[in-house]
Structures are given as structure tokens and as C-alpha cells.
Structure 1
Amino acid sequence: MLLRIPELLNAEEVSVCRELLLQQPWQDGHLTAGHIAAQVKTNHQLPRDNMIAQQIGQLILDKLGRSSMFMAAALPLKVLPPLFNRYENGTAYGNHIDNAIFTMPNADMKVRSDVSTTVFLSEPDEYEGGELVISTAYGENRVKLAAGDAIVYPANSLHRVEPVTQGVRLGAFFWTQSLVASSEQRQILYDLDGSIQKVLATDAHSEAARSLSGVYHNLLRMWSQT
């Protein structure tokens, strides 16, 4: 599933976040890459302990908690705090697959990366290149969204960020451990939830919606990893 969440952050929030982020001391992205990923990663990132990054990350998490689209698609169990990257002057991130397991900061807790999310913090016309390219069974999807929009996709997808040849591309990225590990099963649940909502929109007392809701929760109960 590739899901665009429009306006996760509004224009004012994006403007404030960008102004603060551009003032921070960025570090070489190699420092947070694994051995293989480091060979194709040339961007810059903010350290996880950067206070501004933590504050903006919390804003993003708060917004996600109120996003019905994200909750329905990701079915989150654990969400890692967002990290922030910066691309400019030809920097890029070549083809890679994200690590399967991460450690929650300041906690002895492992997080399985089922779902990846990128939040765009620069407008598409402010930089050249920089597309997030996600490979699927149906080919490559090139993603370059408006500032404040987010893209949600399976963490086991091969993906890359094209070189940014002009301007600056800022973004946030993070991973979610889902209640349902299988991306195919999450897709079925998301589609079923959407159908239920459509039925309820036309008939709030629909017997069919109640029946479909029972099927949804029985599938979630069957597939849940908790």
C-alpha cells in the first residue's frame, strides 16, 4: 500500500518547522546508516537528541494520532520518533531496504519496521530532483509531494531518494510497528474499513455495516501480533 496523507501539517506549521530545522547543526547521514546503506547515502541528518528535532517530531506524532487515514492504514502498535534529513548539492540516498528492527530511544524496547512514513517539508518547486522512488510489483512509483503531505508505504519496499541538484529538500521519516505485520493483510483491512465507512455515510444504521464491522474485527483479531 502506498498512501498519501494530504496536509498532515498545515502551511503555518510547515513554515515554522522549516525555519527551525534550517538553523540546526546537521551531520553526515553516514553516521546513522548501516554498513550497506552507508555506501549509497550522502544526505545529512539531525542527531536524534537534537531538542528541536524532538519537538517537531512530537508535533508530527500528535498529528498522526489524529489522522484517521494513518490509523486505518498503519494500525500502529509502536511508532519510532521521527528523524529529519536534508538533501542538497547532489546528495542522494541510493536503492536500499530499511532495517527490520530498531531500538526505541531511551528505552529497552525493540520496534519492528512494518511501515515507513516520509513527511515532505519542502515544496516541490523549491528543489530539483529529490523524488522518493518506491519499487512495487507494478513498477516504480516516483513521489514528490507538497510540503506538509506524508507518504506511507511498506518498510520492506526497495526505495531511494534521487539526487537533489538544486535547492534544499527537507523531510521527516520514521517507522511504525503495526498490529498486523503483513502488508497484504493491512491492505485488506484498510479496504474493508473504507467500505464500511462508505456504507455508514449513506445509512448510519446499516445492518450491512454492522456485519462488515464484525468481519473487520474478527480479521484483526486473527491477524494481530499482540
Structure 2
Amino acid sequence: MVAVIRELLNKDQVKAIAAKLFSAEFVDGSSSGGPLGKDIKKNTQVPPNSPHYREMSELVLGAIKANETVAIKGMPRRILSPIFASYMTGNQYGEHIDAALMGPYPGMRTDLSMTIFLNKPDAYEGGDLVLTTDFGEMVYKENPGDAVLYPTHYLHRVNPVTKGRRLAIVTWMESMIPDPHQREIIGDLAETQAILTSSNVDKKAILMLEKGRLNLLRMWART
């Protein structure tokens, strides 16, 4: 399951973050790339002790938690503090898979990854997010504020930036439904219910659908 979430951050939120990043300190990002980081990850990121980091982080986390699509598709239990990343000309992040556990010991299980784009696609060349899925490679280069939510077990990469600067936010989620297939089933049922609720359908049918969705959620959820 891959979901493109339009305007996860609105224009004012994107502008506020971009203004703070303009004057922010960036440090080498390879240290957060795991054992192969120094070989495959060439970018910079804002350190957590940066003056504006906490304010930016709270804004992003608030937007994620308030988003209905994230709630339906991801059912997040915990969300990791985001990384604010910069890719200049020549930077890239080679094919990799994100760590299964992140954060302070014993760590948060990572079920879903999210990339939020911060600048216009024509502001830089290259820099596409590429996911390797069961259906082949999927390529994303979205508008400012748009996000891509995808299973963390996918191999993925950021293609080399050949011109300009790519700014993006990345974070990870632990879902209440660890199994991606079960999570997709419950998400599909929630979307179907929303469609039926907005149309002229027998209310009993909607009630029975909701009963099934909630019983599956009760069966599979880990809180």
C-alpha cells in the first residue's frame, strides 16, 4: 500500500518551515543511514538541537496526527520525530531499507515511512523518490506539502540531484495494525464506508460494514 496524501502541510505551513530552514544549520546526514550510510547517503539534515527544530517538528507531527487519510491508511500508534533533509547538486540516497527499530532503546517498530516534499518539482532536477514494490518501481516527485506514505519494508532510494536543491521531511510510524495486509483491509473498509455514507445507501448496510471493520480492528489492533 502506497498513499499519496495531497496537502498534508498547507501552503502557510510549508512557507513557515521553509523560512526556518533558510537560516537553519545543516549537518552531515550519513550518520542516520545505518551501516551503509557513509557509502550511499549523501545529504545534510537539521540536527535535533537546532534552535528551530522543536517548533518545526511539532508543526509537522500535529499535521500528521490531524490528517484523516493518515488515520485511515496508517492507523499510527506512535510517530517518530521527523528529519528535515536537504539534497544539493550531487547528493543522493542509494537503494536501502530503513531500520526495523528506531529511537531510544528498545526502539519503536517502523511499519510505515513518510516523505513530505517541501519545494516545487521544477526547483530541482533529479531527486525522485523511487520505491521498489511488488508491482515494479514507483517514482514520486510531488508538490510542496504533499506526502508519500509507504511500507517501511520496501527498498527505496532518492535519485541523484543534478541541479538545484531538494528539501524534504521524512518520518516513520508504528501502526496499531502491524501486518500490512490487515492494515490495507481495514483501510479499504473505512474508505468504502465513507463513500457509502455520502451516498443514498441503506443505513443498515453501512452499519453492518462498520460492524465488520470494527470487529477486525478489535481482533488485530495492538495498542
Q: Per-residue displacement from partner, 1:61-80 (whole Å, max 9, x unpaired)?
A: 11112211011111010111
User: Identity, % of aligned pairs?
Assistant: 35
Cα separation, 2, equivalents of 1:2 and 1:63: 19
Equivalent in the alignment of 2:191: 194
Equivalent in the alignment of 2:93: 93
Three-state SS of the structure 1 residue aligned to 2:153 is coil
Equivalent in the alignment of 1:185: 182
Query: Are 2:125 and 1:128 aligned?
Result: yes
Q: Per-residue displacement from partner, 1:150-176 (whole Å, max 9, x unpaired)?
A: 110001110000011111111111000
Q: Per-residue displacement from partner, 1:91-125 (whole Å, max 9, x unpaired)?
A: 00000000000125xxx662100000111001101
Equivalent in the alignment of 1:138: 135
**Counterpart AA for 1:208:** A
- Are the equivalent residues in 2 in contact too, given 1:116–1:173 (CA < 8 A)? yes
Q: State TM-score, norm by structure 1.
A: 0.94
**Counterpart AA for 1:95:** E
Equivalent in the alignment of 1:54: 54
Within-5 A mapping of 1:13-92: 13-92=13-92
Query: Are 2:163 and 1:166 aligned?
Result: yes
Cα separation, 1, equivalents of 2:180 and 2:50: 32
- Are the equivalent residues in 2 in contact too, given 1:21–1:53 (CA < 8 A)? no
Gaps of 5+ in 2: none
Aligned-pair distance for 1:33? 2.2
Aligned length: 223
Cα separation, 1, equivalents of 2:81 and 2:51: 12
Aligned-pair distance for 1:48? 2.0
Gaps of 5+ in 1: none
Cα separation, 1, equivalents of 2:166 and 2:22: 11
Cα separation, 1, equivalents of 2:218 and 2:117: 34
Q: State TM-score, norm by structure 2.
A: 0.95
